[in-house]
Amino acid sequence: MSTADPELVRVAVLAPVRGLFTYAVPAALSSGVRPGRRVGVPFGRRRLAGFVVDRIAAAPQGVVPKDVLEVLDEAPLLPESLFRFLLWTADYYLHPPGEVIKAALPAALANPPALRRKVRAEATVLEAPRPLTPEQGVAAATVSEAVGAGCFQSFLLHGVTGSGKTEVYLHAIERTLALGRGAIVLVPEIGLTPQLERRFRGRFGREVAVLHSGTSRGERAREWRRLRNGEARVAIGVRAAVFAPVEPLGLIVVDEEHDPSFKQEDRLCYHARDMAVARAKFASCPVLLGSATPSLESLSNVEAGRYRKLELRSRIDDRQLPPVDLIDLSGADRALLHEPLLRALGETLGRGEQAILFLNRRGHAGSLACRACGHVEGCPDCSVSLTQHLARRRLLCHYCGLSRPIPERCPVCGAPLVPLGAGTEKVEEEVARLFPAARVARLDSDVGAAAIASTLRAFRGQEVDVLVGTQVVAKGHDFPNVTLVGVVLADTGLALPDFRASERSFQILVQVAGRAGRGDRAGRVLVQTYHPAHPALVHAARHDYAAFASEELHRRRALGWPPYSRLCAVRVDGKSPVSTEQAARRLGAVAAERIRQSRLRAAVLGPAPAPIERLRGRSRWQLLLRATNHAAVRSLAIELQEAADDVGPVRVVFDMDPVSML
* pLDDT at residue 1 is higher than 80: no
* pLDDT at residue 125 is higher than 60: no
**3-class SS of residue 560:** coil
Average pLDDT over residues 388-402: 91
Q: How confident is the model at residue 192 (pLDDT cuts 50, 70, 90)?
A: confident
Strands (E) in 119-181, as ranges, are 153-159
Give residue 443's identity as a one-letter amino acid code: L
CA distance 6 to 274: 40
DSSP 8-state assignment for residue 123: P
Whole-number pLDDT of residue 567 = 97
**3-class SS of residue 141:** helix
Give yes or no for a contact between 499 and 481, defined as CB atoms under 8 angstroms apart: no
Q: How confident is the model at residue 109 (pLDDT cuts 50, 70, 90)?
A: low
> Which domains, ranges and CATH numbers included, belong to the chain?
7-104 (3.40.1440.60), 134-317 (3.40.50.300), 320-364+422-557 (3.40.50.300), 566-656 (3.30.70.360)
* pLDDT at residue 554 is higher than 90: yes
* pLDDT at residue 357 is higher than 60: yes
Average pLDDT over residues 298-308: 97
The pLDDT tens digits of the residues spanning 11-59 come to: 999 999 999 999 999 999 999 999 999 999 999 889 999 999 999 999 9
**Residue 435 vs residue 648, higher pLDDT:** 435
Give yes or no for a contact between 537 and 326, defined as CB atoms under 8 angstroms apart: yes
Q: 373 CB contacts (<8 Å, ≥6 apart)?
A: 410, 412, 413, 415
Q: How confident is the model at residue 120 (pLDDT cuts 50, 70, 90)?
A: very low
* pLDDT at residue 616 is higher than 50: yes
Nearest to 614 by CA among 404, 410, 415, 382: 382
Q: How confident is the model at residue 151 (pLDDT cuts 50, 70, 90)?
A: very high
Whole-number pLDDT of residue 108 = 58
First to last CA, the chain: 53
* pLDDT at residue 114 is higher than 50: no
Whole-number pLDDT of residue 126 = 52
- Compute the mean pLDDT over every residue in the chain, rounded to the nearest whole number: 92
CA distance 431 to 426: 9
Strand partners, 66: 23
CA distance 209 to 157: 24
Average pLDDT over residues 646-657: 93
pTM: 0.92
CA distance 369 to 385: 10
Q: How confident is the model at residue 111 (pLDDT cuts 50, 70, 90)?
A: very low
Q: 278 CB contacts (<8 Å, ≥6 apart)?
A: 85, 88, 89, 92
CA distance 523 to 516: 5
The pLDDT tens digits of the residues spanning 513-530 come to: 999 999 889 999 999 999
H or E segment and range at residue 604: strand 602-615
CA distance 348 to 526: 13
Give yes or no for a contact between 583 and 613, defined as CB atoms under 8 angstroms apart: no
The pLDDT tens digits of the residues spanning 245-295 come to: 999 999 999 999 999 999 998 889 999 999 999 999 999 999 999 999 999
* pLDDT at residue 449 is higher than 80: no
Average pLDDT over residues 146-155: 96
**Residue 378 vs residue 495, higher pLDDT:** 378
Whole-number pLDDT of residue 522 = 93
Give yes or no for a contact between 484 and 356, defined as CB atoms under 8 angstroms apart: yes
Neighbours of 16 (CB within 10 A): 11
* pLDDT at residue 330 is higher than 50: yes
